[in-house]
């Protein structure tokens, strides 16, 4: 029987490998994964975010956002225009080329996910879904539990 540490290590190993495969597939299309992530975020937003909001969302500097936006615009995935209400703010929209890239990556991601799960039987898929749901519930419960008091150091006998 695997130990808890072995199970957790395997869980994170699968997650890291999945991410590496996805990033490799995206890179094969000629777009950097950070550009792709920003393109997805821009596409999913109803209103265009500011550069500051993007920096906060992705936990990167405004300069990094500016560089990524510049590359996305140069490659034709987005277009920027001035906001009529606030000339200091640019509105960003995803172009047809950007939407085509997102459609293409969605198909790639679906293929990676299908390959990852390909050899699992229906009962194994059900067991996996159950295990993941229990793990998620346990972690959610740990968020609502009160913090344990800090351990007080034991005094050494003198």
Longest dimension (CA), the chain: 76
Segments making up each domain of the chain, as ranges: 4-142
* Cα of 151 vs its chain's centroid, Å: 35
CA atoms within 13 A on the CB side of 109: 11
Q: Check residue 81 and give its pLDDT.
A: 80
Per-residue pLDDT of the chain (158 residues; tens, 9 = 90+): 899 999 999 999 999 999 999 999 999 999 999 999 999 999 998 887 878 888 999 999 989 999 999 999 999 999 988 777 777 777 788 999 999 999 999 999 999 999 999 999 999 999 999 999 999 999 999 998 777 666 666 666 55
Q: Check residue 140 and give its pLDDT.
A: 94
Q: Check residue 83 and give its pLDDT.
A: 73
Q: Check residue 78 and give its pLDDT.
A: 94
Rounded to whole angstroms, the Cα distance separating 95 from 98 reads: 5
The model's pLDDT over 66-107, given as tens digits with 9 standing for 90+, comes to: 999 999 999 999 998 877 777 777 778 899 999 999 999 999
What number of other Cβ atoms are within 10 A of residue 38's Cβ?
A: 25
Assign domain 4-142 one CATH number from 1.10.10.10, 4.10.110.10, 3.40.50.2000, 3.40.50.300: 1.10.10.10
Query: Exposed, middle or buried: residue 141 (CB in 10 Å: 0-12, 13-18, 19+)?
Result: exposed
What number of other Cβ atoms are within 10 A of residue 23's Cβ?
A: 14
């Amino acid at each position: 029987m695997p130990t808890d540490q072995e199970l957790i290590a395997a869980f994170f190993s699968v997650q890291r490998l999945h991410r590496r495969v996805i990033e490799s597939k995206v890179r094969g299309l000629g777009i950097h994964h950070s550009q792709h992530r920003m393109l997805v975020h821009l596409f999913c937003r109803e209103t265009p975010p500011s550069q500051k909001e993007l920096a906060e969302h992705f936990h990167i500097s405004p300069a990094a956002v500016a560089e990524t936006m510049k590359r996305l615009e140069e490659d034709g995935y987005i277009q920027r225009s001035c906001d009529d209400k606030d000339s200091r703010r640019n509105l960003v929209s995803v172009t047809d080329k950007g939407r085509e890239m997102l459609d293409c990556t969605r198909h790639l991601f679906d293929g990676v996910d299908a390959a990852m799960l390909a050899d699992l039987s229906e009962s194994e898929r059900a067991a996996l879904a159950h295990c993941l749901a229990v793990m998620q519930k346990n972690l959610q419960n740990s968020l609502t539990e009160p913090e344990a008091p800090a351990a007080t150091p034991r005094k050494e006998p003198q």
